[in-house]
């Protein structure tokens, strides 16, 4: 039990996740600044932001209360749990712990739900608009995300444990180095990008348009919790992608290299695209991305 709690709260769960996530967020900000010919903030700016936010006063919109304050907690706890599951599967693939990929898929949905419920309870029309956009965006990316996940399950001969998928790749080569695997990887990368709420899929927040939408009423520690949730996602989505597609028996540095490659891909997509409207995002995910993912699934069934 102590061991599980340690996994959940310290390593590879909560604390590690927020540390790496915030650091990665800092790297993202620095690189983005360089791309735009700015100097950018210091690398640890995200940590400073969180500390600053948690010291500030929390103001609650009139009429809202428990749902408003509790939902960010649940989002953060769910992703921390997912981080613990993924991290432990990556460290020791043979050990089964807590849940399999279907569980992870559903756990990864919870932060979005928490954001939506929190926003809905804040009684602000702009937050409602943000919540509805977040929900529609989730619908949009969830379809190709599921198809890509099933592609991986098919490729690993019906294995549902993340551990056995990793093990399969160690024995048979990474999933990424095949047609179906590559297609599924691209689709899932885009879906992960949308899950993170990065430009071009930041419709739910859209600062210039609906003033941070879903998060408009959040302040202080409650807002910090949402930022932490994003940070944990930034840590665990690349790990999930590596675990599903790109795992080989190599040393830690290669692993970190892969992590950074995925982060660089995120940063590149983020900095070269303007924000889409929500209907364009839906069209994008249900159109080309889903077709691409379906093609991947078909190839995987045929054995390519």
Partner 1 sequence: MMFKVDPLSIFIAAGVIFFSIATFIYSFGFMREHPRRRGYYFYLILTSLVSLATALTNNLILFAGLWGFLGLTLYLLININGEIAVPAAKKTLIIIGGTDALMLLGIAMVYSLSGSWQMDKIKLDFTTAPSIFAYIFILCAAFAKAGAMPFHTWVPDCAQNSPGPVAAFLPASLDKLLGIYLIVRLTFGMFKMSAGLSLIFMVLGAVTILSAVMMALVQHDLKRLLGYHAVSQVGYMILGLASANPIGIAGALFHMANNAIYKSCLFFCAANVEKKAGSQDLDKLGGLAKFMPVTYISALIASLAISGVPPFNGFFSKWMIYQGVIIKAREVGPAAGSVVLICLVAAMFGSALTLASFVKLLHAVFLGVLPSSLENKKIEEKGMGMKIVPLFLALLCLLSGIFAYKIPFKYLFVGAELKYPGIWNASLASLLIGLGLFIGLVIFRLKQIRPVFRQEQAYVGGEPAPRDETRVSGTQFYETIKQFGPLKGIYLRAEAGVFDIYEQGKNLTFAIGKFLQYLHNGVLPTYLVWTLLGMLGLFLVLVR
Shortest CB 208 distance to partner 1, Å? 13
Burial label for 221, CB within 10 Å (0-12, 13-18, 19+), is: middle
Does position 53 bind partner 1 by CB under 8 A? no
16, 24, 46, 128: residue in contact with partner 1 (rule CB under 8 A):
128
CB nearer to partner 1: give 43 or 103.
Answer: 103
Q: Would you count residue 291 as binding partner 1 (CB under 8 A)?
A: no
3 binds partner 1 (CB under 8 A): no
Alpha-carbon span 255 to 263, nearest angstrom: 13
Positions 133 through 172 that interact with partner 1 (CB under 8 A): 135-136, 138-139, 142-143, 146-147, 150, 153-154, 157-158, 160-161
Q: Which residues inside 171-230 make contact with partner 1, applying CB under 8 A?
A: 211, 216-217, 220-221
| Residue nearer to partner 1 on the CB measure, 73 or 255 | 73
Please list the alpha-helical segments (H only) found in 173-304: 179-195, 207-210, 220-245, 252-271, 278-284, 290-302
Span from 17-25, 40-48, 263-271, 276-284 in contact with partner 1 (CB under 8 A): 276-284
Task: Say which residues have a Cβ less than 8 Å from residue 21's Cβ, sequence separation at least 6.
Answer: 228, 230, 231, 232, 233, 234, 235
| Two tokens, residue 43 | 């690398």
Shortest distance, position 255 Cβ to partner 1, whole Å: 24
DSSP letter, residue 302 = H
Residue with Cβ nearer partner 1 (40 or 298): 298
Q: How many CA atoms lie within 13 A of 184 on its CB side?
A: 32
Q: Is 118 in contact with 218 (CB distance < 8 Å)? A: yes
Does 4 sit behind a cis peptide bond, omega within 30 degrees of 0 on the bond before it? no
Q: Which of residues 231-250 bind partner 1 (CB under 8 A)?
A: none
Position 295 contacts partner 1 (CB under 8 A): no
Decide whether 67 or 92 has the Cβ nearer to partner 1.
67
């Amino acid at each position: 039990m102590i061991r599980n709690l340690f996994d959940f709260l310290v390593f590879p769960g909560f604390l590690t996740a927020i540390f790496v996530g915030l650091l990665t967020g800092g790297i993202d900000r620095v690189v983005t600044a360089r791309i735009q010919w700015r100097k950018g903030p210091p690398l640890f700016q995200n940590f400073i932001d969180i500390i600053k936010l948690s010291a500030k006063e929390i103001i609650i919109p009139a009429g809202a209360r428990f749902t408003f304050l509790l939902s960010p907690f649940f989002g953060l706890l769910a992703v921390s749990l997912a981080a613990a599951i993924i991290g432990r599967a990556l460290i020791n693939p043979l050990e089964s712990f807590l849940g399999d990929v279907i569980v992870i898929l559903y756990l990864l949905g919870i932060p979005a739900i928490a954001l939506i419920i929190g926003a809905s309870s804040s009684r602000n029309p702009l937050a409602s608009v943000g919540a509805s956009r977040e929900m529609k965006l989730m619908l949009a990316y969830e379809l190709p995300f599921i198809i890509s996940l099933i592609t991986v399950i098919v490729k690993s001969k019906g294995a549902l444990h993340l551990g056995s998928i990793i093990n399969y790749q160690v024995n048979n080569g990474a999933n990424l180095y095949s047609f179906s695997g590559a297609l599924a990887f691209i689709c899932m990368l885009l879906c992960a990008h949308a899950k993170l709420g990065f430009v071009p899929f930041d419709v739910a927040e859209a600062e210039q348009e609906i003033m941070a939408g879903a998060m408009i009423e959040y302040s202080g520690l409650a807002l910090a919790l949402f930022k932490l949730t994003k940070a944990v996602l930034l840590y665990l989505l690349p790990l999930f992608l590596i675990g599903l597609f790109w795992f080989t028996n190599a040393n830690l540095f290669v692993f970190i290299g892969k992590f950074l490659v995925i982060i660089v891909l995120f940063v590149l997509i983020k900095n070269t695209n303007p924000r889409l409207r929500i209907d364009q995002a839906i069209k994008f995910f249900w159109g080309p991305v889903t077709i691409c993912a379906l093609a991947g699934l078909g190839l995987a069934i045929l054995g390519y």
